[in-house]
Homo-oligomer: A and B are copies of this chain.
Amino acid sequence: MVKSKIKLQTKKLNVWYGNMHVVKDFTLKIPEKKITAVIGPSGCGKSTFLRSLNRMVELVPGARVSGEILLDGENIYDKDVDETEIRLRIGMVFQKPNPFPKSMYENVAYGLKVRGITEEKKLRLLVEESLKKVGLWEEVRDRLNRSALELSGGQQQRLCIARALAVKPEVILMDEPCSSLDPIATAKIEDLLFELKKDYTIVIVTHNLQQAARVSDYTAFMYAGKLIEHGRTEEIFERPKDKITQDYITGRFG
């Protein structure tokens, strides 16, 4: 069904919180330079699934993961894989815009500094590049040293995306990145997604079915921890095969 190159792939992924089995035998292929949306009712495990893709789920005390996640064919959960390395390759953007309470410049430079880049000139250049990519450069070039918290919600979210882009990740995970934004800021982020997918593989979790329909190339429908249906977004929204999917997307659910 998926024809482009597979960038990221989960194989029989399972996640438990303590005794609670939250993600169940999840096998999904995520194609390169496409947008894959994960939809499903609240609490079905979308965020958990997403966080398992860059090993952020390990930060939850009591979380346990089994199965494989292959990034370009390599299992990121292998013993000798460094999770910080993985997180440089798989960036993440969160539900609420969360810039650090530092200057805009520092925010974007942060990941680069973590990576050991200290040369001022190089940093400037890379920061500018990232900010341009998210279309924020023109808006903030004159006040890069002002606090990032002065920006509006939508701008903050774009800054956070720029911050994630700065370290040149290959994959970007987004957990409901627009749910705290107004429709206009949301539209801007969606436009940005179209630009970004030229260079990045994107996985987005959203509650907003319309958003999934608008922006994604592929859609995965998740229910009670299981992958119910996965396919081209058109297929899912026009011809879902599964009864549950049909009920969910037509709002006849629950």
Which A residues have a C-beta under 8 Å from some C-beta of B? 41-42, 182-185, 187-188, 207, 209-210, 251, 253-254
- Distance between Cα atoms of A187 and B209 in the complex (Å): 13
Q: Can you identify 19 A-B contacts, CB atoms within 8 angstroms?
A: A41-B182, A41-B183, A41-B184, A42-B182, A42-B183, A42-B184, A42-B185, A182-B207, A183-B207, A183-B209, A183-B251, A183-B253, A184-B253, A184-B254, A187-B251, A187-B253, A187-B254, A188-B254, A210-B210
Residue of A42, A188, A253 contacting most chain B CB atoms (<10 Å) = A42
- Distance between Cα atoms of A42 and B184 in the complex (Å): 8
- Distance between Cα atoms of A135 and B187 in the complex (Å): 36
Residues of chain B with a CB closer than 8 A to A210's CB: 210
Nearest 8 CB-CB pairings of A with B: A42-B182, A184-B254, A187-B251, A184-B253, A41-B184, A183-B207, A182-B207, A41-B182
Residues of chain B with a CB closer than 8 A to A41's CB: 182-184
- Distance (whole angstroms) from the CB of A182 to the closest CB of chain B: 4
Residues of chain B with a CB closer than 8 A to A183's CB: 41-42, 207, 209, 251, 253
- Distance between Cα atoms of A207 and B41 in the complex (Å): 20
- Distance between Cα atoms of A254 and B210 in the complex (Å): 20
- Distance between Cα atoms of A248 and B234 in the complex (Å): 25
- Distance (whole angstroms) from the CB of A204 to the closest CB of chain B: 16
Contacts A41-B182, A41-B184 known; list 17 others, CB within 8 Å: A41-B183, A42-B182, A42-B183, A42-B184, A42-B185, A182-B207, A183-B207, A183-B209, A183-B251, A183-B253, A184-B253, A184-B254, A187-B251, A187-B253, A187-B254, A188-B254, A210-B210
- Distance (whole angstroms) from the CB of A206 to the closest CB of chain B: 11
- Distance between Cα atoms of A251 and B185 in the complex (Å): 11
Residues of chain B with a CB closer than 8 A to A251's CB: 183, 187
- Distance between Cα atoms of A185 and B253 in the complex (Å): 10
- Distance between Cα atoms of A3 and B238 in the complex (Å): 38
- Distance (whole angstroms) from the CB of A136 to the closest CB of chain B: 15
Q: Which residue of B lies closest to A41 (CB)?
A: B184
